[in-house]
């Protein structure tokens, strides 16, 4: 009886989360480590590519790669959780590339561990 008050789209939304990716919400709920911040050139490039050069479908695939899910929680990016149930912000940090002593951004596909 409880679920009968929802139509198919509403039920999918509550069970699976939001399909639209709000880049501003994502930016607001992202942390940075090891010298990066929202004013770092590489971070500005990152958000510019996500916002201006990726399609919505490509953003979902990227989110899937980084977090294990292609959908945003109903409450937004501020409610991303790890597999232990703790709220866990999306985090960007550079990794040293040993051969050239250069930093690269990497993704942990086990975000939900």
Question: Catalytic amino acids?
Answer: 110
Residue indicated by tokens 């509550």: 14
Q: Which of 51, 85, 81 lies closest to 69 in space, CA to CA? A: 81
Tell me the two tokens of residue 90. Answer: 């999306």
What lies within 8 Å, CB to CB, of 80 at 6+ separation is 29, 67, 72, 73, 87, 88, 89, 90, 111
Asked if 17 and 72 touch (Cβ cutoff 8 Å), the reply is yes
């Amino acid at each position: 009886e409880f679920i009968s008050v929802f139509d198919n789209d509403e039920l999918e939304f509550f069970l699976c989360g939001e399909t639209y990716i709000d880049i501003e919400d994502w930016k607001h709920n992202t942390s940075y480590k090891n010298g990066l911040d929202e004013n770092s050139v590489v971070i500005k490039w990152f958000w510019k590519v996500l916002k201006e050069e990726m399609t919505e479908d490509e953003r979902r695939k990227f989110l899937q790669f980084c977090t294990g899910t292609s959908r945003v929680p109903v409450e937004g990016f501020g409610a991303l959780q790890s597999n232990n149930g703790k709220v866990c912000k999306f985090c960007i940090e550079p990794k040293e590339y040993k051969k050239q002593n250069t930093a690269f951004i990497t993704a942990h596909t086990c975000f939900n561990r």
